[in-house]
């Protein structure tokens, strides 16, 4: 068999080298981008929502007359009414920042590509790669280089959104008539004069279409960016999806729709070529083009300056109180996982129970959380995360749970196997095996460690089953085999559940004769599928805490086959070198 090309190892080596040798550059970029996003968000949040809506409505009227004004005003009033104003403004700051960066970088690259065939030959396949590579792939390198938060979200958005600006800038310049270029040369124009006075003006409509698409693509990344801690309306959509809150998801999604349409119409109207008018109309248009925006900027600044002054005293007092706290070591951040998950709800309650005022619970995903943990440990930096056992990170790193004297995370949990109603009658062999299935966190840890070492989940599960034949034989003893009957299982994309689900799939197929379809889904669809009978079972039900909401909703529509693992633990976790022992210590002053 042909040996596998170690591309993954090469990519990991390149990423590690860049992080070790270019860390200072990444930190500088991160600081600049974070300040730009913060500035835009601050500007948008300065005026009261009603004042902002008035301003944006006037701009809409100036740009697109009554239809655009009515849609803009009504749309933003709905966003404010739904309670997503701050989230939407934060998202707008992220989109504007990523759009500006894409434009500033994309237009010069497009011009360079148009002037150099060699450059175009190199850039064109790179753009193909950027446009076709799944956007999720950009997330983990962005986290590795720029940590969690809005900065990696901007970086991922730029990579995803910049190709249209580059391509259409190149196309616009290449479509300029050869006769006009020759005429410019005949009149003695320099290369710069020809570019700025002939080619760019003629290419402008095509370039503006690219800029419009770049802004739209930046906005399309807001939900994906929320998986690595970029807060905003995308996080609200993601939270609603994970919790199966259809109405809340529609509300948050409607905010994204309003923002997308307004940005699209504004950029189309602002960037389309202007038709020539008679002199009098031109003067009026010029006045409207300068006086209205200037007046609105003044209103924004003066309207928000009062709010900023009123908040200043409170912020200074809060900053003084926080300067000597242990929280400064962690930048007052707790690195979490998926919005709406049980451990995130428990952590939010823990912040209240332990009076951890000013602390931020960073939402993202389990993959982003472990990437941030790995980066902090390699640099021996303090970090606090939401953790649970079993998880491979406890095998790879020296970690410890913070003591929880107030029992904010409750007692130890269990992982249960739950099945659809009627499985015992339809598939008695599978039902009996699933009732017997029970193992320990250490045994699960063997599969998780093997997967982290590079094995595929299927192969890691098969190796474990062959190495623990006594366990497998005990689970299936006396159970009749079947002839290719179909089963469907579902699981969430947690390392522990990937391990258990692939082991179950292997045993059911290789030992009992079933044909198993394994579906990787979010927690909400996992529970819904079993309750509706679309899925036969799942072995990934964390009870009584993590999946408590789903159990309360669906317990009467499914059957609990009992725990397949006991002694499961959740809580706040820090590296062993961090000199604190309890959640209470996060509120202490530095001695």
**What tens-digit pLDDT sequence spans the chain (591 residues)?**
567 787 777 877 887 788 777 777 888 888 888 888 888 888 888 888 888 888 888 888 887 778 888 898 999 999 999 888 988 888 888 888 888 999 999 999 999 998 888 889 999 999 888 888 877 777 767 777 777 778 888 888 888 889 999 999 999 998 888 888 878 878 778 888 888 888 888 888 888 888 888 888 888 887 777 777 777 887 788 777 766 677 888 888 888 888 888 888 887 776 565 544 444 444 444 444 555 555 555 655 565 555 555 555 444 444 444 556 788 888 888 998 877 677 888 898 899 989 888 888 888 778 788 888 988 898 888 999 998 888 888 888 899 999 999 888 877 789 999 999 999 999 999 999 999 999 998 899 889 988 888 788 999 999 999 999 999 999 999 999 999 899 999 998 888 899 999 999 999 999 999 999 999 888 888 999 999 999 999 999 988 888 888 898 899 999 999 999 998 888 999 999 998 999 998 888 766
The reply to whether omega before 544 is within 30° of 0 (cis) is: yes
CA distance 396 to 405: 27
pLDDT of residue 243: 65
We find that the CATH architecture of domain 327-409+577-587 is 3-Layer(aba) Sandwich (3.40)
| 44 vs 55: CA distance, rounded Å | 11
Contact 163, 130 (CB under 8 A): yes
**What's the CA dihedral at 12, 17, 19, 23 to 10 degrees?**
-170
Cβ 418 vs Cβ 541: under 8 Å: yes
Cα–Cα distance for residue pair 55/299, rounded to 1 Å: 8
The answer to whether residues 366 and 494 touch, using CB atoms and an 8 Å cutoff, is: yes
Helices and strands, counts by H and E, the chain: 26, 9
Q: Six-digit token pair at 330?
A: 């962690």
- What is the DSSP secondary-structure string of 355-383? T-TT-EEE---HHHHHHHHHHHHHTT---
Q: Quick one: which of 217, 216, 241, 218 has its CA closest to 230?
A: 218
Phi, psi of 335 (to 5 degrees): -85, 115
Give how far Cα 231 sits from Cα of 23, 257, 520, Å.
24, 17, 25
Beta-strand pair 558-575/399-401: antiparallel
Angle of helix 85-115 versus helix 23-45 axis, rounded to 10: 130
Whole-number Cα distances in Å, 397 to 401, 495, 567, 574, 575:
13, 15, 20, 10, 8
Sign of CA dihedral 160, 165, 167, 168: positive
pTM, whole model, 2 decimals? 0.70
C-alpha span between 356 and 349 (Å, rounded):
10
Region of residue 400 (phi > 0: left; psi between -120 and 50: alpha; otherwise: beta): beta
> In degrees rounded to 5, what are phi and psi of residue 221?
-90, -5
Q: Judging by beta carbons within 10 Å of its beta carbon (0-12, 13-18, 19+), is residue 24 exposed, middle or buried? A: exposed
C-alpha gyration radius of the chain: 28
- Specify the pLDDT at position 38: 83
Residue 244: its pLDDT value, please? 65
DSSP state for residue 177 in the 8-state scheme:
-
Q: CA 78, CA 55: separation in Å to the nearest integer?
A: 16
User: Helix, strand, or coil here: 456?
Assistant: coil
Q: Which CATH number fits the domain 413-568, given the four candidates 3.40.190.290, 3.10.105.10, 3.40.50.300, 3.30.465.10?
A: 3.10.105.10
- Cα 92 → chain centroid: 16
380: left (phi over 0), alpha (psi -120 to 50) or beta: left
Residue partners of 549: CB distance under 8 A and separation at least 6: 243, 342
491 in helix, strand or coil?
A: strand
Give the start-to-end residue ranges of the domains of the chain: 16-46+83-271, 327-409+577-587, 413-568
List the one residue out of 590, 68, 64 whose CA is nearest residue 330.
Answer: 590
β partners of residue 542? 415
> To 10 degrees, the CA torsion angle through 106, 109, 115, 120?
-100
CB-based contacts of 122: which residues, under 8 Å, 6+ apart? none
Q: What is d(CA 499, CA 564) in angstroms, rounded to the nearest whole number?
A: 13
Q: What distance in Å separates the CA atoms of residue 311 and residue 49, rounded to the nearest whole number?
A: 17
Looking at residue 543, what is its pLDDT? 87
| CATH 1.10.3720.10 holds for 16-46+83-271 | yes
Q: What is the DSSP letter of 275?
A: P
């Amino acid at each position: 068999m042909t040996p596998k090309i170690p591309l993954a190892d090469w990519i990991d080596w390149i990423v590690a080298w860049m992080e070790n040798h270019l860390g200072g550059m990444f930190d500088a970029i991160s600081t600049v981008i974070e300040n730009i996003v913060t500035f835009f968000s601050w500007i948008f949040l300065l005026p009261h929502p009603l004042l902002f809506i008035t301003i944006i409505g006037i701009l809409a009227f100036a740009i697109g007359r009554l239809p655009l004004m009515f849609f803009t005003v009504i749309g933003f009033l709905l966003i404010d009414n739904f309670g997503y104003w701050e989230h939407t403004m934060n998202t707008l700051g992220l989109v504007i920042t990523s759009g500006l960066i894409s434009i500033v970088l994309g237009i010069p690259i497009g011009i360079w590509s148009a002037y150099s065939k060699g450059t175009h030959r190199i850039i064109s396949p790179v753009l193909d790669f950027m446009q076709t590579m799944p956007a999720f792939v950009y997330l983990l390198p962005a986290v590795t280089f720029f940590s969690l938060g809005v900065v990696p979200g901007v970086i991922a958005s730029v990579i995803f959104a910049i190709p249209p600006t580059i391509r259409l800038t190149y196309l616009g310049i290449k479509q300029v008539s050869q006769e006009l270029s020759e005429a410019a040369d005949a009149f003695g124009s320099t290369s710069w004069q020809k570019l700025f006075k002939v080619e760019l003006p003629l290419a402008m409509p095509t370039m503006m279409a690219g800029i419009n698409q770049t802004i739209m693509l930046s906005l399309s990344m807001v939900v994906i960016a929320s998986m690595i801690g970029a807060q905003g309306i995308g996080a609200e959509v993601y939270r609603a999806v994970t919790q199966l809150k259809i109405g809340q998801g529609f509300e948050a999604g409607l905010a994204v729709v309003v923002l997308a349409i307004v940005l699209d119409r504004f950029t189309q109207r602002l960037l389309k070529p202007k038709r020539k008018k008679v002199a009098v109309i031109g003067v009026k248009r010029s006045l409207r083009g300068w006086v209205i925006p200037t007046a609105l900027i003044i209103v924004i600044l003066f309207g928000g300056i009062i709010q900023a002054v009123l908040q200043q005293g409170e912020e200074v007092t809060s900053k003084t109180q926080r300067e000597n706290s242990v929280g400064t070591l962690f930048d007052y951040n707790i690195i979490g996982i998926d919005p709406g998950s049980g451990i995130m709800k428990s952590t939010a309650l823990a912040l209240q129970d332990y009076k951890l005022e000013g602390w931020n619970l960073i939402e993202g995903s389990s993959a982003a959380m472990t990437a941030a943990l790995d980066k902090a440990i390699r640099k021996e930096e303090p970090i606090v995360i939401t953790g649970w056992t079993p998880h491979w990170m406890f095998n790879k790193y020296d970690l410890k749970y913070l003591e929880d004297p107030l029992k904010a995370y409750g007692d130890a949990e269990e992982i249960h196997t739950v099945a659809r109603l009627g499985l015992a009658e339809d598939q008695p062999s599978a039902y009996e095996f699933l009732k017997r299935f029970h193992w320990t966190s250490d045994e699960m840890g063997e599969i998780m460690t093997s997967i982290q070492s590079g094995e595929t989940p299927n192969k890691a599960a098969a190796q474990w089953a062959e190495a623990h034949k006594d366990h497998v034989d005990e689970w299936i003893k006396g159970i009749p085999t079947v002839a290719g009957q179909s089963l469907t299982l579902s699981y969430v994309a947690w390392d522990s559940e990937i391990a258990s689900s692939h082991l179950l799939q292997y045993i059911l197929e290789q030992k009992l004769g079933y044909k198993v379809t394994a579906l990787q889904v979010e927690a909400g669809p996992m529970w819904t599928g079993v309750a509706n009978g679309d899925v036969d079972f799942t072995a990934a039900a964390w009870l009584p805490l993590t999946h408590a909401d789903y159990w309360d909703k669906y317990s009467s529509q499914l059957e609990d086959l009992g725990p397949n693992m006991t002694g499961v633990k959740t809580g706040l976790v820090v590296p062993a070198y961090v000199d604190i022992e309890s959640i209470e210590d996060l509120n202490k002053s530095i001695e």
